[in-house]
Amino acid sequence: MRDFLPADVRKREYVIGIIKEVYESYGFEPLETPAVENLETLMGKYGEEGNQLIFKILKRGEKLDQSLDSLGGLGSKEPSGSEGTLTSKTFETSKTSQTDLSDLALRYDLTVPLARVVAHHRNDLPKFFKRYQIQPVWRADRPARGRFREFYQCDVDAIGSTSVVVEAEVIAAATEILARLGFRDVAVLLNHRDVLFGILEASSVPPEKHTDALTALDKLDKIGPAGVAEELIARGVFKFDEASAFVELVRSKVQFQAFPVRDVPTNEKELRQENYENNLFHLGEFEKVLEQSEAGQHGIQELRKLFELIGSESSARVSFHPSLARGLSYYTGTIIEFGLDNNDFSGSIGGGGRYDGLIGMFGKEQIPACGFSLGLERILVVMEERGMFPTEIADSTPADLMVTIWSEETIAESLKLAADLRSAGLRVTVYPEPDKFGKQMKYADQINVPYVAVLGETEIVEGKVTLKNMKTGEQETIDRDQLVQAVSHKL
């Protein structure tokens, strides 16, 4: 886990600020949930591996004593002397004790807390609840490069409607955020759970092999067509020639030219239009392939509506990607993934989709939902690598100006000057004690303030102040009441 020093915080807040502003312009509202949830709310929602990765909080006081007592009790029932069973006994103790010794846990994602909130606060929320949430989550992973055990998620979800309008708006908002952050190579991949089912039906994969087939297929971008075919055979889904045909079918995706939006402005519009038509054409081709599958037909229809709503104006390159499954998660409809064409380390920078089945797990009512999560930490890493932060964020300073202190006797004058400058809207720091002039300037240099207001004995007597530009070294002595104007003008 990391400390964020001021320069880090400023960059994070810049990105988060834009995310919030765009989501709010789409009518999404902020929600915050506590870091700590009941353990039972989280257990069983993220699969067996997820259960292990949840940070669990130790019970306290009497409850802890009771749990330890009952664990001890279990232990004493073991026949003594049977040393051979020690390992398996330990293992079982540990499995039970994790939930016996703990009653609370750290938030693992923002989706399960949302489902809990929607189920519990149903009457306090509007019929369609559009919320965004930007908060940290915790996972007890072994930390790897660029992965941390505490990291922020930026989620946006629209609850209550099955309409594809929701998907269109979620995609438009995320696209706008990335455009405003300065990304010019955003690629959006779209698929539909029913298209995946349709493909399996059309290829006569028996239902009991669906999970195996999708698990293999989801790796297409990582291990390539040959790798997927191999895995399909190993998992007993297909024989050799069937496997290749299956992979070919899915792999055939829209082939188009990538268009760097800013670099080729002349034919940008044309390329977008071509891309749009390619997608519709490709959906049509797939519709024929999935003719016999009702689910497949439905998936294609939904995607076609979505592509039509997105249209040809999006600043991102949107494409139909029939192998996209996003790890067999809880998606029930549209599946969305955002990536970067020129990404230096591969992987998505956001993803989401429709999940109409999750909220029902927390309440009586089944409520449809569609959500999207932006990968804040990835976005920050790429922006750093590409030097995408605006100068005022990248070269951030704690203040616009520092006021010096001449002596014990002139402290009050320096504080008054600082107060005046602040009421005029400047960010002003005061050197905290009377000190040698050289030391004060050295500190101003260290904290990188652009201006220093020197308030010496002469200046005070004459009602003046010496303004020093720290970059050029220039300085000028001016009337005190002209200082605000002089600095504001230069900043």
Instruction: List the x/- string, 69-108, binding to a copy of itself by CB under 8 A.
Output: x-xx--xx-------------xx-xx--xx--xx-x-x--
What separation, in Å, do the N-terminal and C-terminal C-alpha atoms of the chain show?
36
Half-sphere exposure at residue 439, Cβ-oriented, CA atoms within 13 angstroms: 8
Sort residue 16 into left (φ over 0), alpha (ψ -120 to 50) or beta.
alpha
Cα 460 to Cα 454: distance, rounded to the nearest angstrom: 10
- Among 44, 47, 65, 392, the residue binding a copy of itself under the rule CB under 8 A is 65
CB of 137 to a copy of itself, least distance (A): 10
**How many chain residues are in contact with a copy of itself, going by CB under 8 A?**
99
Spatial contact of 225 and 243, defined as CB atoms under 8 Å apart: no
Q: Which of residues 349-368 bind a copy of itself (CB under 8 A)?
A: none
Q: Which of residues 123-162 bind a copy of itself (CB under 8 A)?
A: 124-128, 130-131, 136, 138, 140, 149-150, 158, 160-162
- Among 16, 50, 51, 163, the residue binding a copy of itself under the rule CB under 8 A is 163
6 interacts with a copy of itself by CB under 8 A: yes
DSSP string, 149-164: SEEEEEEEEEES---T
47 interacts with a copy of itself by CB under 8 A: no
Residue 97 belongs to what H/E stretch? Answer: helix 86-100
Residue at token pair 């055979």: 233
Q: Which of residues 211-240 bind a copy of itself (CB under 8 A)?
A: none
Q: Which two tokens stand for residue 269?
A: 């519009």
Q: Which two tokens stand for residue 387?
A: 């030097």
347 interacts with a copy of itself by CB under 8 A: no
CB of 56 to a copy of itself, least distance (A): 4
- Among 40, 44, 60, 245, the residue binding a copy of itself under the rule CB under 8 A is 60
Cα 28 to Cα 34: distance, rounded to the nearest angstrom: 20
Q: Which of residues 379-418 bind a copy of itself (CB under 8 A)?
A: 398-399, 402, 405, 411-412, 415
CB of 17 to a copy of itself, least distance (A): 11
Instruction: Kindly tell me which of 243 and 369 has the beta carbon lying closer to a copy of itself.
Output: 369
CB of 33 to a copy of itself, least distance (A): 5
Q: Which two tokens stand for residue 3?
A: 């400390």
Cα 349 to Cα 240: distance, rounded to the nearest angstrom: 35
Q: Which of residues 298-337 bind a copy of itself (CB under 8 A)?
A: 308-309, 311
